[in-house]
Amino acid sequence: MKKIVFYLFLILFIFNSIVLASNYQEDFIDALKEYYSGNFQKSNSEFEIIINSNEDKFIIDALYYQTLSYIKDDNIMAAKENISILKDKGYEFGKIYWELGQVYLNKKGQFDSPFYNEAKKQLEKANMFGINSPEFHNDLANAYRGLGNISAAAREMEISLKDNGGEGEYMSLASLYQESGQFEKSKDIYKKVLSLYPDNISAYLNLANILIEQKKYEQAVEYLSKAKNRDEDFTAIRYRLALAYYHYGNLEGAESEFNEVIKQSKNNYKSYYYLGKIYQDREDYVKASYYYDEAIKYNQNYALAYIALGDIYIVQENYYKAIASYSTAIEKNDKYPEGHYHLAIAYHKLNMREAAIAELRKTLHLNSDHNDARNMFNDLLEDK
């Protein structure tokens, strides 16, 4: 009789255990449904019930998904508490670290700015625990880039591109190379982008910027002209095209494009400045002065325009006005060596030798490689 009672209790216990396990399984599935529906607060509550049940079969899974749910609900403190609990139980998950790293990258814009160092830390942990997708390496590249580690960022972006090279990834890698001064690699990638995505205006613009930096103005004109044909109203394209024309020596083309820029954006002070330079080259000082004044009207701190006006006064032998204009340029930007150098020239024209020497000393202090200032300085010292 005792054996029969014992077996009855055993059967009843097993039955109840099966029922409870079945109930927890259903609860876990319901919590997962809430999680994947984006109802994170509700899923957190349901996962909590399972975690408190001490049903070992579901606790780790419940903690895992609850942690992801906390992260998606921006409850980072609770997520970190769960990470500690999981770690104490011997579990760490790359997916959780990746999700946390994305939060610190500020991908949803919930912070004023990203926390790159913390993002890097979490993403490197994710990589240790097996996360290796192209999207992941893209995130890690952004973390490195934010910390100024351009070489590491480029390395991660290259990994990202191996299996899943999209337009954005190629552009990011090209800009990384551009930022680190690896211009040839950057140019090759921009050209590849244009072969795959011929309407990518940013690729044209960035490629042209490198070519202008390298003084390859004819090539810059070629790419910028193609970009203009695709979008005539893109002001940055028209401005860079005008600049390339100007440096290439095509002043008519430059003048036309700078005027188009002003039509699109009348406060583009640099376009007025370069129009002034064009008319100054033509010795039309009235029009040149007009455009320099316009540049100053739209940017009263633009030292180059004051220096250019001073140069006109030098040509006109109006040295005191030149001194006033150069002095204003220095007032606006006293760290710019050209202001001091040109002021020295004006002082020298008025035989104010000591004042000229003082300005040349300032020029050379700001730029020791300024050869014109060095030669003038040595000549004035020899005349002592």
Which of the two residues, 339 and 18, has the higher pLDDT score?
Answer: 339
* Per-residue pLDDT at 1 exceeds 60: no
What is the per-residue pLDDT for 325?
Answer: 97
What is the per-residue pLDDT for 2?
Answer: 45
What is the per-residue pLDDT for 95?
Answer: 95
What is the per-residue pLDDT for 50?
Answer: 85
What is the per-residue pLDDT for 18?
Answer: 40
Least confident of 22-31, 94-103, 115-124, 140-149: 22-31
What is the per-residue pLDDT for 158?
Answer: 86
Give the mean pLDDT of 112-116. Answer: 93
What is the per-residue pLDDT for 51?
Answer: 86
Q: Chain-wide mean pLDDT for the chain?
A: 89
What is the per-residue pLDDT for 275?
Answer: 98
pLDDT tens digits, one per residue of 333-374: 999 999 999 999 999 999 999 999 999 999 999 999 999 999
Give the mean pLDDT of 66-76. Answer: 92
Structure tokens at 234: 């893109």
